[in-house]
Chains A and B, each alone.
Chain A
Amino acid sequence: METSTRERIEALIASSPIFVFMKGSKLMPQCGFSNNVVQILHSLGVPFETFDVLSDMEIRQGIKDYSEWPTIPQVYVKGEFMGGSDILIEMYNSGELRETLEVALAS
């Protein structure tokens, strides 16, 4: 990965405590998995920012290399990769997600 790509990714992730790389936007997700993540975060009422990877091929590939994770969406909390749609759903259902995000937002 180009250094400039890595720097762009790091700046994005640092721009908000909860940051999501997704297909489409918050208002118009372009993929069911990205939509799942947006709906979950909305239902918890937490603030989050997103980046549409469909608008930028460099980030679309770069983010997969950055996290060594081959799929999108990808959710970052306080700069750390937390998972994709499956993991978010599982953590949401167990109540772990609310707890983790509350702690992250409080600190």
Chain B
Amino acid sequence: MVHPDQVKAAISRALPDAAVEVEDLTGGGDHLQVKVVSTAFDGLSRIKQHQLVYGALRQELASEAIHALALQTATPV
């Protein structure tokens, strides 16, 4: 499990301009819902957008510290 703040920090390191919202769905720290809004997503396919976020959380996902991650990405309006 990871603390939502750690997830937020990891994403912010990779995407400094991002607005990140992390919700812990079960309170267990391993089922997370994450919304990321960043200009870095501009012009990218959804897959590429998600890959940027997954890249920032590579370690946590590989170790299965995060078991489930519902992800939404968007560019600022």
**Which size class do B's interface residues fall under?**
10 to 19
Residues of the A chain whose Cβ atoms lie less than 8 Å from the Cβ of B70 = 33, 85-86
A83 and B69 within 8 A (CB): no
B71 and A86 within 8 A (CB): yes
Residues of the B chain whose Cβ atoms lie less than 8 Å from the Cβ of A47 = none
Stretch in contact with the other chain, from A7-15, A49-57, A68-76: A68-76
Tally A-B pairs: CB < 8 A: 33
Residues of the A chain whose Cβ atoms lie less than 8 Å from the Cβ of B72 = 86, 90
B68 near A: Cβ within 8 Å?
yes
B47 near A: Cβ within 8 Å?
yes
A81 near B: Cβ within 8 Å?
yes
Total interface residues on A, CB under 8 Å, equals 15
Q: How far is the CA of A68 from the CA of B51 in the complex (A)?
A: 8
B50 and A86 within 8 A (CB): yes
A87 and B47 within 8 A (CB): yes
B58 near A: Cβ within 8 Å?
yes
Residues of the B chain whose Cβ atoms lie less than 8 Å from the Cβ of A81 = 47
A69 and B51 within 8 A (CB): yes
Question: B-side interface residues toward A, CB under 8 Å?
Answer: 46-47, 50-51, 54, 57-58, 61-62, 68-72
Could you list 15 A-B pairs, sorted by A, with CB under 8 Å?
A: A31-B68, A33-B68, A33-B70, A69-B47, A69-B50, A69-B51, A69-B54, A70-B54, A70-B58, A81-B47, A82-B47, A83-B50, A85-B70, A87-B46, A90-B72
Closest A-B pairs by Cβ, 3 of them: A70-B61, A86-B71, A87-B46
